[in-house]
Amino acid sequence: MVRTRIAPSPTGKDLHIGNLYTALINWAFAKKNKGKFIVRIEDTDRQRLVLGAEQQILKTLKDFGLEPDEDPEKGGPFSPYRQSERLNLYQKYAHQLVEKGFAYYCTCSKERLEKLRKEQQEKKQIPRYDGHCRNLNLSRVDLEKKKIPYVVRLKVPKDKKITVYDLIRGEIVFNSNDIDDQILLKSDGFPTYHLAVVIDDHLMQISHVIRAEEWLSSTPKHVLLYQAFNWPLPVFCHLPILRNPDRSKLSKRKNPVWASWYLKEGFLPEAVLNYLALMGWSHPKQKEIFDLKEFINVFDLKDIQVVGPAFDPVKLEWLNGEWIRKTEDSKLKEKILKYYKNYQNKKLDPKLVEKIIPLVKERMKKLSDFWFYCQFFFEEPKVDANLIKNAPYLKDIYRSLSTIKDWTTQNIGQSMQELAKKLGIKTGDFFMTLRIAICGKKISPPLNESMEILGKEKCLERVKRIMKD
């Protein structure tokens, strides 16, 4: 049974776009293998905890359509799925490790450790624990009786090769001498990431640990823990880290990194996921546009490339535009209505949206472009008088428009063409004036069509409003 998971820490505003990528791969791999996709919240770092982050993360996953099969809200066979609610489990296993000789109690004070760190830094050594308590065989009963605070540390064996097998990177060998005697359980009874992740992945029967490359260097510690517990290893797979087009690490300073930002900006979830699927992987037929169903069918975890792929917002915008064009008008209407309701607090008239879609679908790259092009259908435009630059022929326009009986795109176009010719005004200038009068700006959907949809009365009103007497 394939069981995958993501294990986000609720320490930011939302799910990072890189985590969304990890979620996508985990979700798709589980679906492909008729397995389960689990979300576990790793909230043991109490100092960095952000209120509301967990809810936001779960909401974002839902908004993108990556529904977990088990998570802290809906529960599942291995509840709870929030690490802060599993503390006694970690404590139990930590003490077990000490009993078996794979870990030890350490009572070194903060001051001692700080001093040690400074000395090592001065000698240009990598800061690490010096093993002071490693062979003291401190007794838990004693420590607790005397109320001496302690931590549990991993007793990393000396001179040992630790082999990590990674599904896409192959075999990676680490030297145990490079690994610190990691703290597993802190003095407040909270586990560190390393202990909790191994216990939970085992107890939750995770078959494939698919996570970002940044965790690769932690994996030998995890392997030691699995061995100490005598538990079978899951399959490890470390995904490449997304980069900016200039190869720097994706960071808040250069690109928006919160996944929900892309939805607020008017990207379609299916387009964002399509783009993320292309990170470090390509479709066997080199297709760039495909849906999740197809992705699940054709992708193979092993084909993901390890070199950090570039996440390029410009390319994403292009792809999003393609997705908009690929979406049927009736579905696009629903998406536009939902987007403006949820993110812009606007209730748009569905009938009007439906009529306008054919005029703008070709140019839209994001759902937010709809308003950019079409605001004037819903609100009176504010016309900048400077743009109209003294156009006495607005009166003629008004007159001609009022004589049109059958208010159709064709009749409007014909009547305006004839008028421009009669007055001897360059069509470019003439139609720009008309466009600004009607739409309030220089860029708009096709003008005659827009005027037909707006209706005769509204168009006449708009021209009249800016006519000079």
Query: Which of 5-13, 242-250, 318-326, 389-397 is the region at the interface with ligand GLU (rule: CB under 6 A)?
Result: 5-13
Is 8 one of the binding residues for ligand GLU (CB under 6 A)?
A: yes
Q: Which of the residues 118, 252, 346, 421 is marked catalytic?
A: 252
Identify which of residues 44 and 327 has a Cβ nearer to ligand GLU in the complex: 44
Is the bond leading into 80 cis (omega within 30 degrees of zero)? yes
C-beta neighbour count of 464 within 10 angstroms: 15
Closer to ligand GLU by CB, 153 or 211: give it. Answer: 211
Q: Closest CB to ligand GLU belongs to which residue?
A: 211
Least distance between ligand GLU and beta carbon 121 (Å):
27
Cβ closest to ligand GLU, residue 50 vs residue 387:
50
> What is the rounded distance in angstroms from the CA atom of residue 374 to the CA atom of residue 438?
11
- Contact between 451 and 445 under an 8 Å Cβ cutoff? The reply is no
Q: Is the dihedral of CA 109, 110, 114, 120 positive or negative?
A: positive
CB 17 within 8 A of CB 258: yes
Output the smallest distance, CB 236 to ligand GLU, in A. 10
The CA distance from 365 to 267, in Å, is 8
What DSSP character marks residue 132? T
- What is the Cα 425 distance to its own chain's centre? 52
Pick the piece of the chain touching ligand GLU (CB under 6 A) from 1-9, 113-121, 382-390, 400-408: 1-9
Nearest distance from C-beta of residue 19 to ligand GLU, angstroms: 7
Closest listed residue to residue 466, CA positions, set 391, 416, 400, 413:
391
Closest CB to ligand GLU among residues 211, 335: 211
Cβ–Cβ under 8 Å, residues 73 and 38: no
86 forms part of the interface with ligand GLU (CB under 6 A)? no
Q: Which is nearer to ligand GLU, 206 or 447 (CB)?
A: 206
Q: Give the residue with the Cβ less far from ligand GLU, 144 or 214.
A: 214
Among 7, 250, 316, 416, binds ligand GLU (CB under 6 A): 7
Strands 170-175 and 161-166: antiparallel
Q: Does 333 bind ligand GLU (CB under 6 A)?
A: no
Q: In angstroms, what is the minimal distance from the CB of 22 to ligand GLU?
A: 7
Tell me, yes or no, if 252 is annotated catalytic: yes
Beta strands in 228-357 (DSSP E): 235-239
Instruction: Decide whether 66 or 197 has the Cβ nearer to ligand GLU.
Output: 197
Using the rule CB under 6 A, give the single segment among 3-11, 27-35, 156-164, 228-236 that binds ligand GLU: 3-11
- In the region spanning residues 198 to 257, those forming contacts with ligand GLU, defined by CB under 6 A, are 211, 215
Residue number, 224 or 419, with CB nearest to ligand GLU:
224
Identified binder of ligand GLU from the candidate list 3, 4, 9, 323, rule CB under 6 A:
9
Smallest distance, ligand GLU to C-beta of residue 44, A? 9
Mark the segment that binds ligand GLU (CB under 6 A) among 4-12, 119-127, 240-248, 419-427.
4-12
Size of the site for ligand GLU (CB under 6 A): 7
164-200 b/e (C-beta count within 10 Å ≥ 16 → b):
bebebeeebebeeeebebbbbbbeeebbbbbbbbbbb
Considering only 6-14, 136-144, 161-169, 251-259, which stretch makes contact with ligand GLU by CB under 6 A? Answer: 6-14
**Minimum CB separation from ligand GLU for residue 83, in Å?**
9
DSSP H or E stretch at residue 275: helix 269-277
Shortest distance, CB of residue 43 to ligand GLU, whole angstroms? 9
Q: Which stretch binds ligand GLU (CB under 6 A): 2-10, 92-100, 231-239, 442-450?
A: 2-10
Q: Considering the complex, what minimum distance in angstroms separates the CB of residue 304 from ligand GLU?
A: 16
Q: How many residues does the chain have?
A: 469
Helix, coil or strand: residue 76: coil
Q: Taking the mean position of all CA atoms in its chain, how far away is CA 431?
A: 43
335's CB contacts (< 8 A; 6+ apart) are 268, 327, 367
Binder of ligand GLU out of 21, 24, 38, 42 (CB under 6 A): 42
| Nearest CB to ligand GLU, comparing residues 9 and 433 | 9
Which ranges of 157-215 would DSSP assign to H, the alpha helix? 193-203
SS3 for 417? helix
Minimum gap (Å) between residue 45 Cβ and ligand GLU: 9
Would you state the structure tokens that stand for residue 141, as one six-digit string?
């009963």
Stretch that binds ligand GLU, among 7-15, 113-121, 285-293, 368-376 (CB under 6 A): 7-15
Task: Please report which helix (H) or strand (E) contains residue 5, including its range.
Answer: strand 3-6
Single-letter amino acid code for the residue at 19: N
Q: Which two tokens stand for residue 320?
A: 């999003």
Answer for the pair 366, 266: CB distance below 8 angstroms, yes or no: yes
Whole-angstrom distance between the N-terminal and C-terminal Cα of the chain? Answer: 80
Measured between alpha carbons, how far is residue 468 from residues 151, 249, 251, 396, 398 in Å?
83, 57, 53, 12, 12
| Residues 179-198, mask of contacts with ligand GLU (x by CB under 6 A) | ------------------x-
**Residues found near ligand GLU in the complex (CB under 6 A):** 7-9, 42, 197, 211, 215
- Catalytic positions: 252
